[in-house]
């Protein structure tokens, strides 16, 4: 491993610097040198994305840098993951995520960033896009059976649809099967608790951390689904009007769900 230490360091730095072309080229070079794809991912590129996550969480990096680093990570994985599939070695799957921006909301940027960060950290993510109707999302959940259901919303008028999805899961007797995460500008930890969501993250880095913690509990058989704390929450009532003001961080995008997080910033960018 030491013989490739310099190359691994370059891989990490390409992600930190947000150099997608460089990351892609280094990934290709590693294959030419006969380095196992999993080694390049774990010893090179993943180390870079972790540094980015730490710096972002500390306020040392901002949304543009985060986006560039996430894209660099994707560029490397686009080369390495197909090769992984051909080998017996497989990257540990942290969990399967089904994400969307809820019905009535067309904001996408923040959700995409969070989904990319989750993917870069070992999650398998299916993003259904924006304005996904409640009934359709429920059917997709039942069909795909993800570990984590992630919902993003930018508007106070659409955030209640997060609660409606949870209500449907409860009414159909399948709520306990899924971890539910929510996020976006009008959401907050209090809102997540009110509607009975299991997780919320203030930014993309936090969303990944929360998702990992919840999956550890789920795999250990220790996951206990949250329950709505009020009748309004159970019905998917209006989002707390103070939540939007509380989540004006540069990256509120990190919806706690691998999706919501970026909604606040997403709104500014879409």
**Measured on CA atoms in the order 205, 122, 11, 68, is the torsion positive or negative?**
negative
Which one of 32, 52, 86 terminates a domain?
Answer: 86
Q: Are residues 56 and 101 in the same domain?
A: no
What order do you get walking across the sheet with 148-152 strand by strand?
123-127, 95-101, 148-152, 179-183
Split into its structural domains, the chain has a count of 2
pTM higher than the cut 0.75: no
pLDDT given at position 169: 98
Q: How many residues does the chain have?
A: 270
Q: Are residues 31 and 104 in the same domain?
A: no
Q: Are residues 112 and 173 in the same domain?
A: yes
Say which residues have a Cβ less than 8 Å from residue 6's Cβ, sequence separation at least 6.
Answer: none
Q: Are residues 127 and 145 in the same domain?
A: yes
Number of helices followed by number of strands (H, E) in the chain: 13, 4
Say which residues have a Cβ less than 8 Å from residue 45's Cβ, sequence separation at least 6.
Answer: 11, 12, 14, 15, 23, 27, 73, 76, 77, 80
Q: Are residues 141 and 61 in the same domain?
A: no
Q: Are residues 99 and 81 in the same domain?
A: no
Q: Are residues 64 and 109 in the same domain?
A: no
Q: Are residues 104 and 24 in the same domain?
A: no
* Domain membership of residue 9 as a residue range: 2-86
* HSE-up of residue 231 (Cα within 13 Å, Cβ side): 0
| Residue 1, SS3 per DSSP | coil
Asked if 165 contacts 149 with a C-beta cutoff of 8 angstroms, the reply is: yes
Q: Are residues 115 and 30 in the same domain?
A: no
CATH code, domain with 143: 3.40.50.280
Q: Are residues 162 and 141 in the same domain?
A: yes
Which one of 17, 51, 86 terminates a domain?
Answer: 86
Low-confidence ranges of the chain (pLDDT < 70): 1, 85, 87-91, 109, 231-270
Q: Are residues 112 and 13 in the same domain?
A: no
Asked if 211 contacts 118 with a C-beta cutoff of 8 angstroms, the reply is: yes
């Amino acid at each position: 491993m030491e013989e490739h230490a310099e190359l691994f360091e370059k891989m990490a730095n390409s992600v930190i610097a947000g150099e997608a072309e460089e990351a892609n080229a280094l990934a290709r070079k590693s294959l030419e040198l006969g380095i196992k794809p999993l080694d390049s991912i774990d010893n090179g590129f993943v180390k870079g994305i972790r540094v980015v996550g730490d710096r972002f969480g500390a306020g040392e990096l901002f949304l543009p840098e985060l986006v560039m680093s996430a894209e660099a990570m994707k560029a490397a994985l686009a080369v390495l993951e197909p090769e992984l599939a051909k080998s017996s070695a497989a990257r540990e799957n942290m969990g399967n995520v089904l994400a969307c921006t809820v019905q009535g909301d067309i904001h996408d940027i923040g959700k995409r960033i969070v989904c990319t960060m989750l993917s870069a950290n070992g999650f398998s993510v299916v993003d259904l896009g924006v304005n996904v109707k409640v009934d359709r999302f429920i059917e997709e959940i039942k069909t795909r059976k993800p570990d984590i259901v992630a919902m993003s919303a930018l508007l106070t008028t659409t955030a209640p649809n997060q609660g409606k999805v949870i209500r449907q899961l409860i009414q159909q007797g399948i709520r306990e099967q899924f971890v539910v995460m929510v996020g976006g500008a009008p959401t907050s930890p209090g809102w997540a608790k009110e509607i009975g969501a299991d997780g919320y993250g203030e930014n993309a880095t936090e969303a990944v951390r929360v998702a990992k913690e919840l999956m550890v509990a789920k795999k250990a058989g220790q996951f206990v689904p949250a329950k709505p704390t009020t009748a309004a929450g159970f019905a998917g009532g209006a989002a707390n009007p103070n939540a939007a003001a509380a989540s004006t961080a540069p990256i509120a995008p990190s919806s706690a769900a691998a999706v919501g997080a970026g909604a606040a910033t997403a709104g500014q960018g879409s």
